[in-house]
Amino acid sequence: MTEAEFIDLARQNIKSQLVDVVFLAIVFSAIAALKANEPDDDEDPIVKNQYKFILKATDKFKGELMYFYDPTSGLDLISQGFFPSAALITNFARLIENFRKENWALLQGDDETAEKTHVIKYLMKTFPITNQMAGYLPMFYPALAKDLGIKVQSNYGIR
């Protein structure tokens, strides 16, 4: 490699870094704009759930861009477990546990406890396709999502 090729490569890397910085500035600005325009508490549940979904998607995009710049991003991967399918196993265990609790409550005549178990939610989270559908349910059918115990979580802010 000649000196001229090395300098060209260094310039290209600097331009790539500047593009990354510009994209990060845009994403951080989008997160700040979203936080500044948070809907009121008396707003329609569909609007609030759509807002939380957009905020969560923006935060996820920021996490993807910050992967190589944030030293804690590697720890986030390890903290979620070595096997991604472990979450499916955990959800299946929760399904069995809540199904047992619901049946016991129904046998005892405790309808209030039976409604709090949300067995259908854990059934949906057990399978990959229905798990994704459960994430979109609050945006389109907030009353049904509330009955099933499904909420949109907005993971925003610096972790």
Q: Which residue has the tokens 């209030």?
A: 112
- pLDDT at position 78 is 67
Query: For residues 156 and 154, what is the distance between their CA atoms, to the nearest angstrom?
Result: 6
Q: Angle CA(80)–CA(83)–CA(84) in degrees, nearest 5?
A: 70
Amino acid letter for position 149: G
Q: pLDDT tens digits, residue range 36-75? A: 999 998 988 888 888 988 998 898 888 888 888 887 776 7
Using an 8 Å Cβ cutoff, are 142 and 46 in contact? yes
- pLDDT at position 72 is 78
Q: pLDDT tens digits, residue range 122-153? A: 888 888 888 888 888 888 888 888 888 888 77
Q: pLDDT tens digits, residue range 66-125? A: 888 887 776 766 666 666 667 778 888 888 999 999 999 999 988 888 888 888 888 888
Q: Where are the domains of the chain?
A: 1-80, 83-152
- pLDDT at position 147 is 83
Is a pLDDT exceeding 50 seen at residue 31?
yes
Q: Which residue has the tokens 């001229």?
A: 4
Amino acid letter for position 128: P
